[in-house]
Structure 1
Amino acid sequence: MDITSFLKTGRFKDLSVGMSYSNFQKRKQFKHSSKWLYDDDNIESGFSIFWKGLEIGFRDEVIYLLSIDPYFKGVTITKKYKINRKLTIEKFVKYLFFAGIKWKFVSREEWEHECEIKTEGGVSIIFTFELDGLRISKFSVS
């Protein structure tokens, strides 16, 4: 799954935050996807649909979140730079540079042990610092 366009635009294929669920349902690849409710007792709390490492979050019948799981095998930038949870910030920034993707650091609360990079498409990439090292924890736009 190449995420270059997602990082540049904040859109995944033709999906974007704000798209209605009825328009989403017209997409053939998602036709038979299952809904995972956030709260089984309250369907209005929202739900997610998962497809090949992509989480599509819905609230009030509208997409509010697109998130790519860095654990998903085969995530790349420009189809040649492999992304995984152990990728360093330095390498990731180089990959963004090589792909021509503009980015900036976003300040986070220092006690959260996280660092956020935001791309020109509004995609947040969160790096989490753990005792055993640094991990990419998510790519998301909301």
Structure 2
Amino acid sequence: MSDLARELISKYMSKEPDQNLAYSREYLLRAELARVLRLVDELQERERKEIEQFELAITSIPQVLQKEARKALYRRIAEIRSARARLLREAIVLASELSQICSEKGVKCSYCCFRKLCFSSTKLKLKKVRRWYLGR
């Protein structure tokens, strides 16, 4: 979560509960979740482009250097995937906070469905979460 979002949320949390305050906190969490999920998709796109560029360039690289080029590509992809996994974990935390707001309000809403999807650790479920939230 960005420092600004944390600061605003902690500022809101320190005050007495208020219905407008809950909506403000919900809005901040929702905005932060959308930002994180957009970053996840940007990293996925970056990974795809890295692979495409490598496939185009590999034909012009001498056979001797291709092994080193592949190692460099695998390292870059590993870094991208690691960053993406970190962001997805952050998205799960944000989604659970949003679902808590929902339950505090006593309202059954889409965040309950979102939480159910998020608490599964499988990649398939995480992909569904991203598609579900970004498609809203």
Same structural fold, with TM-score higher than 0.5 when normalized by the shorter chain: no
More relative contact order, 1 or 2 (CA 8 Å, 6+ apart): 2
As a proportion of its length, which structure holds more strand?
1
What is the TM-score with the length of structure 2 in the denominator? 0.26
What is the TM-score with the length of structure 1 in the denominator? 0.26
As a proportion of its length, which structure holds more helix?
2
